[in-house]
Amino acid sequence: MKTNPVGWFEIYVQDLPRAKTFYETVFATELQSLDAPFSGMEFLAFPMAQDSYGAAGALVRMEATSSGGNGTLVYFACEDCAVEEGRVAGAGGQVEKTKTSIGEYGFISLVRDPDGNRIGLHSMK
């Protein structure tokens, strides 16, 4: 494998405007609409740079697809995960595990968005 193993991620949501507000608030960023490849789908992409480290991804609302599953856990890179964790409740989410050391690998927080999706926050400080 010549690239990082994750090339794209999708977080399925039921209420796209609510999810947009949550993720924009927690990560202090702006999501952009993407053209959907099929009818019955809506995409809001996280900011992405083709020549930068990490994976790109989007929030997706798709007919007949539920949210809140826990089969995959996406970790968002943060300067200090406590900052983003501190924005979660005010944005309609829930903190599941507060900032915790993972030794030499930094720190993590686990949170849930308003659709019940669990996401991870990771930082080195």
Residue 27's SS3 state is: helix
Q: How many helices (H) and strands (E) does the chain have?
A: 2, 8
Domains of the chain: 8-123 (3.10.180.10)
- 2 pLDDT band, cuts 50/70/90, is low
State the chain's mean pLDDT as an integer: 91
Instruction: Give the other-Cβ count within 10 Å of 67's Cβ.
Output: 19
The pLDDT of residue 63: 84
Q: Which residue has the higher pLDDT, 1 or 57?
A: 57
Distance CA 13, CA 76 (A): 17
Residue 67 is predicted with a pLDDT of 87
This prediction's pTM? 0.85
